């Protein structure tokens, strides 16, 4: 709704930074975020969030996960050993970077607050 209204103002030649600031304040986001939303609406024709990739577990994956006591690393190993496709949402053994590309610090609690 916010982006649509700002685009209307833009089409009329009346969009100002003050409008974007007010929209950001009402939306509880940074001004740069609103500008990115406007850019996405203009270039991609999209006014809603980009859909997030989701990991869908098959019945077999749930079974393996349950047998492993919820250990996702064991699920990853099983999928690799079976030669099947390993979804990007499943973590790799050995603390390899996750979907964000970042790797947490080593240690007994990883990147948990207060670790160390």
Q: Is the pLDDT of residue 97 over 80?
A: no
Please give the model's pTM, rounded to 2 decimal places: 0.46
Q: Is the pLDDT of residue 83 over 90?
A: no
What digits encode the pLDDT tens for the residues 55-80?
778 898 899 889 999 888 888 888 88
> For residues 116 and 69, what is the distance between their CA atoms, to the nearest angstrom?
26
- In the chain, the percentage of residues whose pLDDT exceeds 70 is 72
Q: What does the DSSP assignment read for 56-86?
A: PPPHHHHHHHHHTTT-HHHHHHHHHHTT---
Q: Read off the tokens for 14.
A: 């009346």
pLDDT value of position 107: 44
pLDDT value of position 115: 46
What digits encode the pLDDT tens for the residues 6-16?
999 999 999 99
Q: Is the pLDDT of residue 111 over 80?
A: no
């Amino acid at each position: 709704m916010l982006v649509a209204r700002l685009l209307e103002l833009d089409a009329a030649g009346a969009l100002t930074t003050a409008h974007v600031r007010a929209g950001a304040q009402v939306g509880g986001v940074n001004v740069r975020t609103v500008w990115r939303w406007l850019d996405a609406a203009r270039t991609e024709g999209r006014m809603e969030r980009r859909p997030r990739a989701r990991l869908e577990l098959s019945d077999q994956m749930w079974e393996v996960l349950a047998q492993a006591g919820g250990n996702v690393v064991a699920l990853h190993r099983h999928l690799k050993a079976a030669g099947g496709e390993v979804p990007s949402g499943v973590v790799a053994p050995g603390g390899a970077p996750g979907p964000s590309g970042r790797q947490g610090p080593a240690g007994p609690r990883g990147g948990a607050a207060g670790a160390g």
